[in-house]
Structure 1
Amino acid sequence: MTNTSKRAVVFAYHNVGVRCLKVLLAGGVDVALVVTHQDSASENIWFESVISVCQLEGIPYITPEHAKGDDLLEQVKAAKPDLMFSFYYRHMLPAELLDVAPAYNMHGSLLPQFRGRAPVNWAVLHGAHETGATLHEMTVKPDAGAIVAQTAVPILPDDTAHDVFGKVEVAAEITLWKVLPGLLAGTAPRLPNELAKGSYFGGRKPEDGRIDWSKPAQEVYNLHRAVAPPYPGAFTDVGGHRYIIERARLSRQNLPSLPPGLAVVDNGIFGVCGDGRALAISSLLADGAPISAGELSERLATNS
């Protein structure tokens, strides 16, 4: 890429934030300011740090509590950006910020599908066979602006959301790298984002990982894949204990004679589902600690 004199303000967090920030720097963009988040002590931080990149590269950064308010607006204006970018920043940008300069967001799906929060997790939960990354113009309405570029990635049958997120990170980097010269030159495409043909989903909470064993095995497996660690995990409560599935596969063995729920068969742990099929569980946590098939069998016998 050729060097440019374009200045940018970047709102960024998480691995996609790190990768896309590095693409801008490699593309010769003058990143005048980064707006990011302080890591939360209550969150499992398994991803890379945007702050660390800023410190390494000598980029000014700030960590406001929200994206509203005159202080942030004045700091962004003072940076005099030609462009603004949002890469997995967790707050919606209000209209007054979007009015400062043309703004673009990197979203973790093939828009208009899976607009909104946690797009990778929702795609896996719904059994999608592909997803990707989309760079689009930012509007006040979330994920609704014109599409600039997108890159698809496959979702394989046993991929967890974490597996897919790794692919989406690379897709985001490729998407931005390919379109950045045109974006800086003002020649990037603007494709319609046909919202009526897409879908929108809200954020997910740990409680959304509760397993309904009456569901078919594929649905339960999709739930496990969607929230498997490092996400909070699919869980079930039995006899006052909380069991979280760490690793599992769809079993080739049907168990129609057993009631739905956790079971131990031939020293193996299974999650029996409403259609008689089962998940073969290779790693199960009980109240946060690993539990063996023998230990689980004793507990289940006590609870029966």
Structure 2
Amino acid sequence: MSDDTIRLVTVGRILRRRRRLLAVLVVVGALVGYGVSVLFPPRYTASASVLLPGQWEERELVTQVEIATSSSVVDRAGEELGWSGVSDSELRDRVSAETADGNVIKISGTAESPERAQRLSDEVAEQFVTFAARIASGSTDPDEAAGPEALREQVKRTNQRITDLANAADPGQTVESVQTRTELEKLRTTLQEAMQKLEEADPANNRAGLVVMGPAPRPTGEAPPTRPQLVGGGALLFFVLAVVGHLAAARVNRRLRFEPEVAAALRSALLGTVDVPGDRRAHRPKARGARA
């Protein structure tokens, strides 16, 4: 390679002399980009916002983002959508989530059409809210009837049972019946107070109320890279490669090194070669005086 610095004059000379070739390569690059856009159909991305009320630390928000894109959420969303030809792994690749200002998580879904992208993001947001509520209640099984609602239902049935026992007691004013009804009322009061204290002391109650902030807006444009971007990128890539190739060829040292190359440059036949030793110095007579 030559050590000469490549100047703008060299680039301009290449552009002038090779403009036809460069134009052809630009067209070829544009066609290649168009072919890539045909192989990969356009995609659309819609985003749904989920509000997390209360005070949240940064690491907790990051955890919620991981939960929103987990297989437990995305796979259940895929079951609800029932799209044929879309596997669970492909669906997970189409879903992403990120945190925004104000304890908001934006869940984005990418699909082949604006309608499917909107449905995907909305369904994942709904499943995320449901799954977060199950985690806050201490259960991740969707079929398990546990949690605050089940506990309230159990308390309701217990209160009804206490009422039935109080009515079944001796309606008279005997000492035993009065004591029985009194104990049952104390039990009812104690149960209600315990339930109230449990709800007040449970920190999950302040964090389970995730809210989906409305349906995702339907996208109006394609997600990058779009077809014009691929066409322009292919044309620019081929143009840059062509210029770099010409500059590399211009910097190559063109000194002839082999006998056939020398003969071809001189347009004559090769008559013979002479071996010159490279480790011996030419013998020179020793001179004397000022001239030496």
- Greater relative contact order structure (CA < 8 Å, 6+ sep): 2
Bigger proportion of residues as strand: 1
Bigger proportion of residues as helix: 2
TM over 0.5: no
Q: TM-score, normalised by structure 2?
A: 0.22
Q: TM-score, normalised by structure 1?
A: 0.21
